[in-house]
Amino acid sequence: MAIIGFGSEDDIQWQCGASLISFEFVLTAAHCLYSLVNGPARYVRVGDLDISTETDRAEFQQFSVKRGIPHPDYLAPSRYHDIALIELDRQAIKTEFVAPACLDTVRFHEEEQMIATGWGKTSFAGDISSHLLKINLDLVPNDECRKFFRNTPKEFLDHGIDDEMQICAGGGPLQDTCQGDSGGPLQVLGDNQVYTITGVTSFGKACGISKSPGIYTRIFNYLTWIEDTVWPIDQRDKPIDL
């Protein structure tokens, strides 16, 4: 789990989540690369639990953004292809608190629930959580999901929720991600106790108020682009210490 910061170094505004997928890259939402108020994403922190203190037991590592790489088909304000990579200014170090997650290589899942994590708001128009939180979200079938977003303006969703590039999850009582969770992972925990990233938190309606589910960019649809960017062909035979 990673968090993305904006603004000046002496007053960092932590506004988005991300996932460490290699020791040099985090995965996030394309709309998290730039803030209308605070400008481009400038910092990434991994390994933290409570972002309000440095005296908890976490051992965080903080980086500058070397470059942000939005998906080539992303075009704001559209909600399609809302996925991006951030290259760190140096390699992360594996610790008890820091390790790369796996990427989903399965199109269909038997799980009825997936896990979302982040430091986002705990209610609509509320405050950002200083503590890392997690929630189990119910998967919502696409035909049901599309009903909640059928009146969304065309510039955001010109053909509705797209099941190939998006996952719909949540919709139950207090089941939602919120502002500040964008870019963070939707994930499943395998039998080997390794998290696999299935989606990237993208958008939703009024969290905690609306009964509509949240929308997550489907990782499986973007595997080739991610691999070609993070692990170019000429580097894929090099050993990786996990």
Q: Where are the domains of the chain?
A: 2-100+224-234, 102-220
**Gap between the Cα atoms of 217 and 83, Å rounded:** 7
Catalytic choice (129, 182, 202, 212): 182
Q: What is the pLDDT of residue 238?
A: 59
**Token pair 């995965």: residue:** 27
Active site residue 131: no
Q: What is the pLDDT of residue 194?
A: 84
Active site residue 210: no
Does pLDDT of 17 surpass 80? yes
Catalytic choice (82, 104, 176, 181): 82
Query: Between 175 and 98, whose confidence is greater?
Result: 98
Q: Residue 125 is which amino acid?
A: A
- Whole-model pTM over 0.85: yes
Tens of pLDDT, residues 132-179? 988 899 999 999 999 999 999 999 999 999 999 999 998 676 655 666
**Gap between the Cα atoms of 213 and 228, Å rounded:** 31
Query: Between 236 and 162, whose confidence is greater?
Result: 162
In the structure, what pLDDT confidence band is assigned to residue 210 with cuts at 50, 70 and 90?
low
Q: CATH number of 2-100+224-234: 3.40.50.11740, 2.40.10.10, 1.10.357.10, 3.90.1150.10?
A: 2.40.10.10
Q: What is the CATH number of domain 102-220?
A: 2.40.10.10
Active site residue 82: yes
Q: What is the pLDDT of residue 179?
A: 63
Beta strands in the chain (DSSP E): 2-6, 13-20, 25-28, 34-35, 39-46, 61-70, 84-88, 102-103, 113-118, 133-138, 166-169, 185-189, 195-203, 214-218
Per the structure block, which two tokens stand in for 38? 């605070």
Mean pLDDT of 93-106: 94
* Topology match between the domains 2-100+224-234 and 102-220: yes
Catalytic choice (31, 71, 81, 104): 31
